[in-house]
Amino acid sequence: MNTTQHDEISVCTGLSRNTITIRHSEPGDAAHLHKLFSCKNVYSGTIVVPKMSLAQWEAKLSRTSDNFIELVAENSDGVVIGQTALNVHGSHRRKHSADFMIAVHDDYQGQGIGKQLLAEIVNLADNWLNLKRISLTVFTDNEAGIRLYQRFGFQIEGEIPCFAYRDGEYASVYQMGRIKP
């Protein structure tokens, strides 16, 4: 694990005693993200199209923006097992707000990785980026995700029917938001 070039946060999950490092993503993470987003639960729970090529991931990671923060969760073996992305709105009237997403590898779900990624997003939003509002969309059948977001103060603000085509049918999402107290 390279610890010299990243701002990192090492945390120990209570379930696995595996050290997880949360760090900014880099172009070299493309192969790991390609594998992560090839997991059925991951591509089913996000709006990423299944089977994106490695070249598409490399291109995606090469595009940078000051308004886009992408973090990964890396285990002690150097494998990226989770990812989160925060997109701060660039409009003058919306710079106080951002949207984000979280994805955790199928084999590591239920081990607190999503909670660690979400805690870091909330920390960045509240303490470093001066964001008043952060929001997300979550599929209505993602009960574990909804509970996690609610524990961090997110509220369901509405339902969007037929939001995305998933596994042969249209699926609805909740719009959830959190306003900094």
**pLDDT for residue 14 is more than 50:** no
Q: pLDDT tens across 44-76, in order?
A: 888 888 888 888 888 887 777 888 999 999 999
Angle between helices 143-151 and 113-123 (to 10 degrees): 40
39 or 157: which leads in pLDDT: 157
The residues, ordered by sequence, that sit 6+ positions from 3 with a Cβ below 8 Å of its Cβ are: 21
Instruction: Specify the pLDDT at position 18.
Output: 60
Mean confidence (pLDDT) of the chain? 87
Q: Which backbone phi and psi does 130 adopt, to 5 degrees?
A: 55, 45
Q: What is the spatial order of strands in the sheet that 169-179 belongs to?
A: 9-12, 19-24, 68-74, 80-88, 97-104, 133-139, 169-179, 155-166
Residue 23's pLDDT is 94
Domains of the chain: 9-131 (3.40.630.30)
pLDDT at 17: 43
Whether residue 15 is predicted with pLDDT greater than 60 in this model: the reply is no
* Intra-chain end-to-end CA distance of the chain, in Å: 37
Is residue 168 scored above 50 in pLDDT?
A: yes
Tokens standing for residue 94:
């919306």
Q: Does 11 score more than 90 pLDDT?
A: no
| CA atoms within 13 Å, Cβ hemisphere of 106 | 10
pLDDT score for 61: 79
**Residue 7: its pLDDT value, please?**
39
What is the mean predicted confidence (pLDDT) over 11-24?
Answer: 63
162 CB contacts (<8 Å, ≥6 apart)? 170, 171, 172
Q: Answer whether residue 154 shows pLDDT above 50.
A: yes
Beta bridge pairs of residue 98 = 88, 134
pLDDT of residue 91: 87
pTM for the whole thing?
0.84
Of 50, 6, 58, 52, the C-alpha closest to 31 is 58
Please write the tens of the pLDDT for every residue from 81-107.
Answer: 999 999 999 888 999 999 999 999 999
The helix or strand, by DSSP H or E, that contains position 160, with its residue range, turns out to be: strand 155-166
What local confidence, expressed as pLDDT, does residue 66 receive?
81
DSSP designation for 145: H
| % of the chain at pLDDT higher than 90 | 65
